[in-house]
Chain A
Amino acid sequence: MMRIAAAVLSAGMALSATAASAQEWPSKTIKLVVPYAPGGYTDSVARITARYLEKELGQTVIVDNRAGGGGIVGSDLVAKSPGDGYTLCICSVGAISVAPVAQTTSYDPVKSFKPVSVVSTIPQTVIVNPSLPINTMQDLVAYAKANPGKLSYGSSGAGGLMHYSVQLFDARNGTKMTHVPFKGGSPATAAVVSGEVNLSFTNMTDALPQMEANKVRALAVTSAKRNEFAPQLPTVSETVTPGYSVESWNGLMAPASTPDSIIAKLSDVLKKMAADPEVKKSMAVVGASTEFTTPDEYKAQIAAEVEQWRELLKEIAEKKN
C-alpha cells in the first residue's frame, strides 16, 4: 500500500516538474547497500543510519545486503551504480582503504566514490594473553625485539585490518611477529584468551567482554585519540609509535557521479544524526562511537589511509627482495 502511494506520489511529481532536479531529491525509495551479511556490525550501523535517514528525508530507505569478498562485491556495485542519489553505501575501511591496495579491485577508493561522512568508528585494542610478562606497550616492543618471530598474533584473515595494523606496527618499530590468520575477528580474539596466539589487535567490540572478564590484558588502543569506552587505555601513538593511527570506520558513500547538492543535503542530515542522543545510544550498544566528518575531510582521510597502506606494502615488498 505504502509502495503504491509512493509510486503515485512520485509519478505526480514527475508530471509537475518536467525534469526531476536534485532539489526535489529524494522523490522515491533510497537503496542503502551494505557490503556485508545481515546481523553483523556494519549491518547494525547501516540499519541505525537507514532509520535516521528515513525520518529526516521522508522517504523509505531499504537496506540491501550484498555480502562477498570482504566487502568488495557490494562496494563495487555502488561504484558502478548511477549517481542519482538513490543508491548509497555504508562502506567500511576494509573494502575502501585496504583492499584496493592489497588486491585488485575494479573501483578506485578515491575516484569511484563521493564520500559523505564517517558515521561510526571503532578502534582496535592491543590485547595479550595474561600469562605473558608483558604489561605495557614498551614491554611488548622490548619483548618482540628480544625474541624475533616468537610472538604470534591472530587476525581476521590475510589482508584484513587486523593483519595490516600489526604489519604497520612491526614496520614502525622494527619488530617481527608471526601472523596467524583466523576466519573473522571473534575467533582470533578467542585464540588470545586460550593462549593459542600471544596477542592480537582486536576490534574494541570483541575485546571489551574479554577485558572485563580479565581473560586478556589490554595494553593500548590504536586510534589517534583515547576511546570513550576504555578511557584508561593509552594510545599506541602516545606510548611507543608516535603518529600511529588505525581505526575501523563505517561511512556513507555515494557513486562518484552523484550531484554535489545531494551530497550536501545528506551531509546536513548526518551532521544532525551525529548529535542525536538516540543514535549515539544505539551505536554504543554495538560498541561504536558516533562520528561526523565533512565530505572533504572524509575524502582526505581516505586518500591518506590509502597512501599509508600503499607505502607499507612497498616497504614490506622491498624487505623481501
Chain B
Amino acid sequence: MTDVFAQLGHGFAVAATPINLFFCLVGAIFGTLIGVLPGLGPVATISLLLPATYALSPVSAIIMLAGIYYGAQYGGSTTAILVNIPGESTSVVTAIDGYKMAQQGRASEALAIAAIGSFIAGCIGTVVIALLGPPLALMTQQFASPDYFSLMVLGLVSAVVLANGSAFRAIAMIFLGLLLGMVGMDLNTGEARMTFGLVELSDGINFVALVMGLFGVAEVISNLEGASVRIVNQMRIGTIWPSFSALRGAWGAVLRGTALGTLFGILPGGGATIASFSAYALEKRVAKDRSRFGNGAIEGVAGPESANNAAAQTSFVPLLTMGIPTSATMALMVGALTLHGIAPGPMIISRQPDLFWGLIASMFLGNAMLVIINLPMIGIWVRLLAVPYRLLYLVIVVICAIGVYSVNNSSFDVYMTVGFSLLGYVLRKLDAEPAPLLMGFVLGPMVEENFRRSLITSHGDPMVFLQRPISLALLLISAALLISIMMPAIRQRRVEVFQE
C-alpha cells in the first residue's frame, strides 16, 4: 500500500514536468473540443492524432491520448445538456434529463453535477487503476500462450455481449475483423497471406488506415449526409455552482455511477458507452419516483456522467496489465504504444514505470484541469457549435490524409483509407457497428499467434487449453457468456437495457 503511494509520487514527478503537463492540457482541451462537437468521437480523434504523437516521447503521447478520451466524456455532456445534441455516444442518455433540466432553467445545475460527478468518478477510477494494476500485472506474468488465447477468446465473446444492437451483426463484424487481421505474413511459415502479391500488405493491413477510414472519414460522410442547418439557441447559463440540495440529491447517483463505470471499464468489451446506459437504467430502477426520469431528474445526469468517466479511466487496467484492449479506443492505445516500440502487456508496469505511474498521475491532474476547462469556460465551447460543418469536415479529411501518409510515408495507405472509408459508410448503413470489427482486427492476430504457439509447445495436444487452470477458467466464463446471450430471457433483458 505504502509502495503504491511511493510509486504514485514518482508518477506525479513524471506527470508534472512542464512538457507532460502541457500535453495533458492539450489532450484535455482536444477531448473537450471533440466532446462538444457532435460527429467527431474520441476514436476518430485519437486515430487522427496518432501519427502526430511520433515526435513525442511515449509518456507524453499516451498522456495526451488518454486526456482526449476522458476529456471527451466531459465535453460530450455539455452539448447534450444545453442543446440536446449528445457530443458523444456516452452522453446520449445524459441528454434525456439534462436537456429537460436546461429547459427548466436548471442548466447550470446539470452542467455542474455532470462535471463534479465526472471529476469524482475520474479520481476514484484512477485510484482503482493504481491499486489494481500492479497485482493484476503480477498475476498475468504467470500467463503462458494457452492462457492468453483463452483470455482473448473471452475478450471477443464479451465484445459480442456488450455491443449495441443485434448480436448477430456484432458476431459478423468480429469475424470480418478477424479476417482482415489475417492479412500479411504468416508467423509460423513466413509466407505472405491474402496480400495479392502486394509488398505493402506483407505486414498486414495498416492499423491507422483502417481506423481512420472506418471511424474518422466514414463518420464524416454519414454526418454530411444528415447535415442540416443547426440552430444553436443562445441561452443564459448563469452561475455554475449547484445548490446544496441538488448536490444532496445527486451524490448517491454519483457513487452508484462510479461503481458501475469502474466495473464496466475493466470488463472486456465494456467501456464508457455501455456504462452510461447501464447507470441510467440503474438510477431509474432504484428511484422512488420513476416518473421524474425524462422530466429533469438530476440523478439521470449524475449517474451516467459519473459512470462514463469512471469507465474511461478504468478501461486502461486490462490494457496496461494484460495488453488486452477492451474497447475500440483502447485498441487504438495498443496501436499508439506499438508505434512507440512498447509492447502492451504485463511488463509495462515493471519495465516502463514512468509510463504507467506517469499516466495515472496525469489522470488526476487532467481531471482537475477538465473541471476548470469545462465549468467557467462553458460559453466558449457552446459557441463552437456555430462553426459550419462544411468547413470543419474539410479540415478533418485533409488532416486524415496527411496523417495516414506520414505514418509510413506511403501513398498506398492513403488509398487503403479511402477503401475503408467506403466500407465504414456501408457498414453504418447496414446498422453494423465497426467497433467489434476493430476488436476482431486487433485481437485476431494475437488469438492466432497464441493458439498456434500453444499447440506447438504442447506438440499438437489441444487439451493444453483445459489443463491449465487459468485457461480453463477463462474458457468456462466465455462459454457461460455465450450461452447467456442465446437464452431468450437474457436476450430480452439486453434489448431492454439498450432501448432505455
Residue A82 is within 8 A (CB to CB) of chain B in the complex = no
Q: Contact check, A196 vs B190: say whether CB atoms are below 8 A apart.
A: no
B222: CB under 8 A from chain A? no
Q: Does B341 contact A (CB under 8 A)?
A: yes
Judge if A67 is at the interface, Cβ distance under 8 Å. Answer: yes
Residues of B within 8 A of A66 (CB): 408-410
Assess the B190–A102 pair: CB atoms within 8 A: yes
Q: Are B341 and A39 in contact (CB under 8 A)?
A: yes
Q: Does A26 contact B (CB under 8 A)?
A: no
Contact A64 B409 (CB under 8 A): yes
Q: Which of B54, B186, B190, B457 contacts A180 (CB 8 A)?
A: B457
Asked whether B188 lies within 8 Å of A68 as measured between CB atoms, the reply is: no
Which residues in A have their C-beta under 8 angstroms from that of B145?
196
Interface status of A172 (Cβ within 8 A of chain B): no
Q: In this complex, what residue of B is CB-closest to A41?
A: B341
Which of A40, A69, A152, A183 is the one whose CB lies under 8 Å from B449?
A183
Interface pair A65/B409, CB less than 8 Å apart: yes
Q: Who on chain B is nearest to A66 by CB?
A: B409
A73 at the interface (CB under 8 A from B): yes
In the assembled complex, which residues on chain B have CB atoms less than 8 Å from the CB atom of A68? Answer: 199-200, 202-203, 408, 410
Question: When the two chains form their complex, are residues A103 and B199 in contact, meaning their CB atoms are under 8 A apart?
Answer: no
Q: Does A130 contact B (CB under 8 A)?
A: no
B453 at the interface (CB under 8 A from A): yes
A70 touches B347 (CB 8 A): no
Contact with A along B173-208 (1 / 0, CB 8 A): 000000000000111111000000001101100000
B232 an interface residue at 8 Å Cβ cutoff? no
Known: A102-B190, A157-B187, A158-B186. A69 touches B340 (CB 8 A): no
Whether B4 sits at the interface, judged by CB under 8 Å, is: no
Size of the B side of the interface (Cβ < 8 Å), in residues, is 27
Kindly state the separation between the CA atoms of A39 and B186 in the bound complex, as whole angstroms. 24
Contact, CB under 8 Å: B188 / A158: yes
Judging by beta carbons under 8 Å apart, are A178 and B341 in contact? no
**What residues of chain A lie closer than 8 Å to B52, measured between beta carbons?**
none
Contact flag A76-B340 (CB < 8 Å), given A67-B408, A70-B185, A183-B449: no
> Separation in Å of the B192 CB from the closest CB of chain A?
8
Q: A38-B54, A68-B200, A72-B199 are in contact. Are A196 and B457 (CB under 8 A)?
A: yes
Q: Cβ of A259 < 8 Å from any Cβ of B?
A: no
- Judge if B456 is at the interface, Cβ distance under 8 Å: yes
B144 on interface, CB distance cutoff 8 Å: yes
Q: A39-B340, A40-B341, A67-B408 are in contact. Are A181 and B188 (CB under 8 A)?
A: yes
Residues of A close to B227: CB separation below 8 A = none
B343 located at the interface, meaning its Cβ lies under 8 Å from any Cβ of chain A in the complex: yes
Closest CB in chain A relative to B109 CB, distance in Å = 48
A128 close to B (CB within 8 Å): no
The minimal Cβ–Cβ distance linking A97 to chain B, given in whole angstroms, is 15
Shortest beta-carbon distance from B12 to chain A in Å: 26
Interface of B: prevailing SS: loop
Verify A180–B453 contact, CB threshold 8 A. Answer: yes
Does A186 count as interface, using CB distance less than 8 angstroms? Answer: yes
- How many residues of A sit at the interface, in one of the four size bands? 20 to 34
Question: How far apart sit A158 and B189, CA to CA, in the bound complex (Å)?
Answer: 5
Q: CA A38 – CA B339 in complex, angstroms?
A: 8
- Contact A76–B408 (Cβ < 8 Å): no
**At the interface, yes or no: A159 with Cβ under 8 Å from chain B?**
yes
**Within the complex, which residue of A69, A102, A186 is in contact with B203, where a contact is CB–CB below 8 Å?**
A69
Q: What residues of B have a CB within 8 angstroms of the CB of A190 in the complex?
A: 347
A215–B203 CA distance with the chains assembled, in angstroms: 32
Contact A158 B190 (CB under 8 A): yes
Which of chain A's residues have a CB closer than 8 A to the CB of B456?
Answer: 152, 178-180
Task: Contact check, A158 vs B202: say whether CB atoms are below 8 A apart.
Answer: no
Q: Which residues of A contact B408 (CB under 8 A)?
A: 65-68
Task: Name the interface residues of B42-68: CB closer than 8 Å to any CB of A.
Answer: 54
Q: How far is the CA of A129 from the CA of B189 in the complex (A)?
A: 25
B391-422 CB mask vs A (1 if < 8 Å, else 0) is 00000000000000000111000000000000
A194 at the interface (CB under 8 A from B): yes
Cross-chain contact of A183 among B144, B187, B190, B340 (Cβ < 8 A): B187
Beta-carbon nearest neighbor of B206 in chain A: A68
**CB 8 Å contact bits of B437-453 with A (1 = contact, 0 = none):** 00000000000010001
Which positions 168-187 of chain A face chain B at CB distance < 8 Å? 178-184, 186-187
Give the residues from 213 to 268 in chain A that come closer than 8 angstroms, CB to CB, to chain B. Answer: none
Docked complex Cα distance between A189 and B321 (Å)? 19
Cβ contacts under 8 Å, A102 to chain B: 190
A61 within 8 A of B: no
Most buried by B among A39, A103, A181, A183: A181
Central interface residue in B199, B410, B459, by most chain A CB within 10 Å: B199
Contact, CB under 8 Å: B199 / A197 = no
A39-73 CB contacts (< 8 Å) to partner B: 39-40, 64-70, 72-73
Cβ-based interface call for A284 (8 A) = no
A37 at the interface (CB under 8 A from B): yes
What are 16 sample pairs from A and B whose C-beta atoms fall under 8 A apart? Answer: A37-B341, A64-B409, A65-B409, A66-B409, A67-B408, A68-B202, A68-B410, A69-B202, A72-B199, A157-B187, A181-B453, A182-B187, A182-B453, A186-B343, A196-B145, A196-B457
Q: A73-B199, A102-B190 are in contact. List 15 more A-B contacts (CB 8 A).
A: A67-B408, A68-B199, A76-B199, A157-B187, A158-B188, A180-B457, A181-B187, A181-B453, A182-B453, A183-B187, A183-B449, A187-B343, A196-B144, A196-B145, A196-B457
Q: Across the A-B interface, give the 5 residue pairs with the lowest CB-CB distance, nearest first.
A: A159-B190, A158-B190, A69-B202, A39-B341, A181-B187
